[in-house]
Copies of this chain bind each other. A is one copy, B any other.
Amino acid sequence: MTTHDLIRDLREVSPAKIVMLVADGLGGLPLTPDGKTELETADTPNLNECARVGTLGLSTPVLPGVTPGSGPGHLGLFGYDPLEFQIGRGILEALGIHFAVTGRDVCVRGNFCTLDAGGKITDRRAGRPTTERCVATVNKLRTIKLTGAEVFVEPVKEHRFVLVLRGDGLGDRVNDTDPQAVGVPPLKAEGADPASQKTAALVNEFITKANEVLKADAPTNGATLRGFAKQPAIPTMQDVYGLKSAAIAVYPMYKGLARLVGMDILDAGDTLQSQIDRLKATWNDYDFFFLHYKYTDSTGEDGNFAEKVKKIEALDAVIPAIRALNPACLLVTGDHSTPSKMKSHSWHPVPTVIVSDLCRPDGASEFGERQCRTGGLGHLPAKHLMLLAMAHAGRFGKYGA
């Protein structure tokens, strides 16, 4: 029996609500062996209270030592084995801008770039154009027609756009055309199988026409593509857990991930406070809320230890408002660690706390890596957290007689 089939058997109809608060890249590292991590340094009275009444643990996103991108990191949290369900970047980008992806689509992330007279890349991000310029450039590309596929070009922001080819029998095993270097031309697309060769031919034709359309538009006179992807077959949260689920996320990628597993995407505004306001306003409409907080990751990526500490403290400040709604289960965790020491995502396990009336408290007094290490949830794969959330919300029946 698969875990999802087990969940379908165990789940019960219940009004109990679950809140999953994901602080992106939450886990960290101390700057010296005897020092504290960002989370341990932060003044977090409300998360510490969660630790006191709840149960702690360390969550491993994929496998020990494996650093996840946002896709596998979040799929794991939602209870989907990230080695079984794989999502390409193009799909994430398309979902993130609310593009209605179909099963006939190949999606790909595009970057505007600057080409010199010889067709070589001089700036991989086209001087980071304004989003207005991005929209204008995309509008020019929308004039391009191809034989054998519909073409959709959608702006994201700055130098980024999404290209979608919709047609029958299109494969997604196509190489990135972004050479990840300047001084060389973009790569030709090639397909690894007949269906993908069909896609590659369309892509190469698109790029030739794009170069023509944009030839007078330096610095946005070229484009590279990466992350060709079709939509994976993935069951919804409703199907697996019986949870009517909503995402309250500010950034497009996380909205896209949530949409992929069937969540409704709510208007989250731009701030943590507007996210909390939305949570309150829609509290009676859903069983499961995914709240995503980006800034613990972005400050970590910047290598800014002090700023990551502040962003954690800002998150801590909204915990009482969430708990005041009295969710049957509140789970606070991250999709991976982003130690400011490393300025990148990492494999280190992620501090996690579950708060529920059904918790077995573990004597912890602070929410930090050290206390999570010896917490009552142990060290566990992220994909098992939803099992615990369902159980602590009282939404699971007994397995077997």
Binding site for B on A (CB under 8 A): 1, 3, 6, 10, 29-30, 33-34, 37, 52-53, 58, 62-73, 82-83, 86-89, 92, 227, 339, 342, 344-349, 358-363, 369-370, 373-380, 384, 387-392, 396-401
CB distance from A287 to the nearest CB of B (A): 16
User: Which residues of B lie under 8 Å from residue A30 when comparing CB positions?
Assistant: 360-361
Report how far A98 CA is from B203 CA in the complex, Å.
Answer: 55
Query: Are A390 and B65 in touch, CB under 8 angstroms?
Result: yes
CB distance from A40 to the nearest CB of B (A): 11
Query: Are A63 and B400 in touch, CB under 8 angstroms?
Result: no
Give 20 A-B contacts (CB < 8 Å), ordered by A residue.
A6-B63, A6-B83, A10-B66, A29-B359, A33-B359, A33-B361, A58-B378, A63-B387, A64-B377, A65-B387, A65-B388, A66-B387, A66-B396, A67-B397, A69-B398, A72-B399, A72-B400, A87-B400, A347-B391, A373-B375
**Which residue of chain B has its CB nearest to the CB of A370?**
B363
Q: How many copies does the complex hold?
A: 2
Report how far A358 CA is from B37 CA in the complex, Å.
Answer: 13
Contact partner of A29 among B10, B88, B358, B400, CB < 8 A? B358
**Which residue of chain B has its CB nearest to the CB of A62?**
B399
Contact partner of A358 among B64, B89, B342, B378, CB < 8 A? B342
CB distance from A71 to the nearest CB of B (A): 5
Query: Are B374 and A373 in touch, CB under 8 angstroms?
Result: yes
User: Which residues of B lie under 8 Å from residue A1 when comparing CB positions?
Assistant: 83, 86
Contact partner of A67 among B89, B380, B396, CB < 8 A? B396
Nearest 6 A/B pairs, CB to CB: A378-B379, A65-B387, A65-B391, A89-B401, A72-B400, A69-B400
CB distance from A366 to the nearest CB of B (A): 13
Query: Are B64 and A380 in touch, CB under 8 angstroms?
Result: yes
Given A65-B387, A346-B358, does the pair A71, B33 have CB atoms closer than 8 Å? no
Query: Are B401 and A71 in touch, CB under 8 angstroms?
Result: yes
Query: Are A34 and B361 in touch, CB under 8 angstroms?
Result: yes
Query: Are A401 and B34 in touch, CB under 8 angstroms?
Result: no
Query: Are B391 and A66 in touch, CB under 8 angstroms?
Result: yes
Query: Are B348 and A360 in touch, CB under 8 angstroms?
Result: yes
CB distance from A214 to the nearest CB of B (A): 26
User: Which residues of B lie under 8 Å from residue A65 when comparing CB positions?
Assistant: 384, 387-392, 396
CB distance from A284 to the nearest CB of B (A): 25
